[in-house]
Amino acid sequence: MFDSANRTELPLASSTGCSCCSPAGHAQKAPAAVANVDAAAPSQRTFSVDGLTCGHCVRTVEKAVSALDGVESASVDLVAGGRSGLTVAGSVSDAAVRQAVTSAGYSLAAN
């Protein structure tokens, strides 16, 4: 579905490039809340994320999800203007991932 091995590293957008990089988009965001780990969760899952437009958006989501207890890795395959793929490895619950993405200012797409 998402080929993260061949993803292109994108530069940060300028201060007028997208909504997350506008001066208002750089407001300090609250750290992502950590939810309880679901021991039965699969070790790697891919989620669809709406609203990502640049490399800054990607790093914001990766950082928020990576901060959760139980996350071994988190990477985003950016599809600017579409649904980007977020791959998460580790024993973290889907609810915790959703909360971290939401706290970062984005949303998981309904499947």
In angstroms, the CA 6 to CA 99 distance is 28
Given the DSSP bridges, would you call strands 71-77 and 107-108 parallel, antiparallel or unpaired?
unpaired
Q: What is the tens place of the pLDDT at every residue in 15-26?
A: 445 666 654 444
Given the DSSP bridges, would you call strands 71-77 and 83-90 parallel, antiparallel or unpaired?
antiparallel
Q: Kindly provide the residue ranges of all beta strands, DSSP E only, lying in the chain, ordered along the sequence.
A: 44-50, 71-77, 83-90, 107-108
For the question of whether the overall pTM of this predicted structure is more than 0.95, the answer is no
Q: What is the tens place of the pLDDT at every residue in 18-50?
A: 666 654 444 333 333 333 344 454 589 999 999
